[in-house]
Chain A
Amino acid sequence: MALDRKTVIDIATLARIGIDPDNVDDYASELSKILKFVAQMDQVDTEKVEPLTHPQDRQLRMRMDRVTETDQREGFQQLAPAVEAGLYLVPRVIE
């Protein structure tokens, strides 16, 4: 499967990654190579194989419904570029 320029630009938009338009063709060809490599798996007959959701044969561990965390807002907010009244401030987003 080969990726075209438009798909590469779409993926970059979804991932919020800025890419140089000059590099789009290179990305397209490199990503296509990766996909081609992975596509070898399409050769395997998976008709009777149950879909795998996790590589390890393990089950989800569950915890009791108890509050174990304490308020550490002050510490966490020291990592944030801007806070006010206990809230994290980010550039304005309105959908």
Chain B
Amino acid sequence: MKWEPVIGLEVHVQLLTRSKIFSGASANYGSQPNTQACAVDLGLPGVLPVMNENAARMAVKFGLAVDAVVNQRSAFARKNYFYPDLPKGYQISQYEMPIVGRGHLNIVVDGELKRIGITRAHLEEDAGKSLHEDFHGMTAIDLNRAGTPLVEIVSEPDMRSTKEAVAYLRKLHTMVRYLEICDGNMQEGSFRCDANVSVRPAGQAKLGTRTEVKNINSFRFVERAIGHEIERQIDILEEGGEIVQETRLYDPDKNETRPMRTKEEAHDYRYFPDPDLPPMAIDETFIEEIRQNLPELPDAKEQRFKDQYQLNEEHAHQLTQSRANADYFEATAGASRGAPKTVANWIVGDLSSRLNDENLDIGDSPISSRMLAGLIDRIEDNTISGKIAKEVFRAMWEGEGEADAVIENRGLKQITDTGEIEKIVDDILAKSRTQIEQYTSGQEKIFGYFIGQVMKATGGKANPKQVNEILKKKLRAHLFTDGP
């Protein structure tokens, strides 16, 4: 039987506010344990939560960016459960009246555009962190994270493959960073993903029983965890079994999911409106002001890169994955005489792979956009060849200065003097009787040998186009004099 997976994602996005959602404690990451947990975050008696306006602003910003309904009236509710990293015994969240209603994101998979529905996005507070190791059998609690503002973004079950799920997650990741509402750091937990997964026979309308897979904290794991869960469910169904609705935890070390809690043990959260927090009203002016200040969004920027710079699909897509990348490209293209396509090639190719190798963001690149533009200009005006440019690039990366300085100091200026190249070619041909014979007898592949020799003799500095022409001319002469 052919099975069709059905996937929906719930993504928790930590908002980049200075302070917590309901208290004036700092929301910075990585401070000493519990130094940023105030009385409100600790849930001490008598405290009152007061909403952070900036958190509301960021949620609205997200809503507008995904074409969603922004609810001018929303409400906070208490989600009740007991866990030591939740000192109040309830999490303040939104239930029946979320701030952001239905919206959507477009993804492209295998060249096909697909619209993924967003059911809702609501504001809530994060819990603290529990550490289970090294505390002589006790659990240790750090409440610095408690009260950090989150937006939970719930998608429709619109994805039909792990590829689509990854594409959606990446798009969302790009989006929240464009909006500057989240740093997107998955390792530090500022962007977390749970997946609802079910399978059904292809063509069946009714959804299968779903499981929720938790603990997916990297893009690589999303693909593996969901892929694994789909296979597990298909195996069970093909053996005539039934899927149990449950929450499963992904273990990246073993690449498996295992049950966390079944429906019977599932929490009954007993949501009710939080009496400490009256309904949140957001007026049209507030929304309009945010709308006016929205940055150019990824899809629009990608289209503009294609129109304005004539970039191909892949380049336009890759360069608009982050604003920093896109800005770097535009700054380089603006400062260089080279074609935008050439600039794109350098950024997507050499620069990206080097940044990747060293685990750096483009903002930390030792080669600035102006420096890269300078390098590209030297290729354009024939000072260096594309091949030498790679050497100059490496030298610039190692801190040897601008392209011009590297070319000067390393003596890399291209040899473009025809007379000089001819002399070198003559020397090589004089030493290459055998190869010339091979060439004249029709083995044209040997041509590469001559090119190689010239490049070797000049340290790669001879202008390749000229070498090519001169070699062809001289060999043709041999063809007629030495030929049969």
Contacts and interface: CB of A to CB of B under 8 A. Distances in A.
B386 interface: no
Contacts of A10: 268
Contacts of A87: 33-34, 131, 135, 140-142
B132 interface: yes
A59 B140 contact: no
B252 interface: no
Contacts of A6: none
B138 A71 contact: no
B190 to A, nearest CB: 17
Contacts of A55: 275
Given A61-B51, A64-B53, A71-B35, A95 B261 contact: yes
Count chain B CB atoms within 10 A of each CB in A51, A62, A85 and give the residue with the most.
A62
Interface stretch (A23-31, A34-42, A76-84): A76-84
A65 B19 contact: yes
Contacts of B24: 63, 66-69
Interface stretch (B37-45, B200-208, B295-303, B389-397): B37-45
Contact of A72 (B38, B55, B137, B273): B38
Contacts of A69: 19, 23-26, 36, 38
A77 B125 CA distance: 22
Given A89-B140, A90-B84, A92-B138, A54 B275 contact: yes
A68 B33 CA distance: 18
Given A67-B24, A68-B24, A76-B34, A88 B140 contact: yes
Contacts of A58: 278
Nearest to A89: B138
B176 interface: no
Contacts of B267: 14
A89 B84 CA distance: 9
B281 interface: yes
A26 B52 CA distance: 45
Contact of A59 (B18, B52, B279): B279
A88 B51 contact: no
B32 interface: yes
B137 A53 contact: no
Chain B contact residues (Cβ within 8 angstroms of A): what range? 35 or more
B33 A59 contact: no
Contacts of B277: 54, 60
A48 interface: no
Contacts of A61: 50-51
Q: Which of A64, A65, A69, A82 has the most CB of B within 10 A?
A: A65
Contacts of A66: 18-19, 24
Given A53-B75, A86-B34, A68 B19 contact: yes
Interface in B73-102: 75-76, 80, 82-84, 96-97
Contact of B36 (A71, A77, A88, A92): A71
Contacts of B130: 93
A60 to B, nearest CB: 4
B49 to A, nearest CB: 10
B465 interface: no
A90 B273 contact: no
Nearest to B280: A60
Given A14-B268, A53-B279, A66-B19, A77 B139 contact: no
A74 B45 CA distance: 18
A59 B35 contact: no
A64 B268 CA distance: 34
A16 to B, nearest CB: 6
B270 A14 contact: yes
A76 B278 contact: no
A86 B56 CA distance: 32
B139 A67 contact: no
Given A89-B139, A91-B139, A93-B83, A62 B56 contact: yes
A69 B19 CA distance: 9
B261 A90 contact: no
B143 interface: yes
A94 interface: yes
14 contacts: A10-B268, A53-B279, A58-B278, A60-B280, A62-B51, A64-B53, A65-B52, A69-B36, A73-B34, A76-B42, A85-B140, A86-B142, A89-B135, A94-B132
Given A87-B131, A89-B140, A93-B132, 18 more contacts: A53-B97, A59-B281, A60-B279, A62-B53, A67-B19, A69-B23, A69-B38, A73-B35, A86-B34, A86-B142, A87-B135, A87-B140, A88-B84, A90-B84, A90-B139, A92-B132, A92-B139, A93-B84
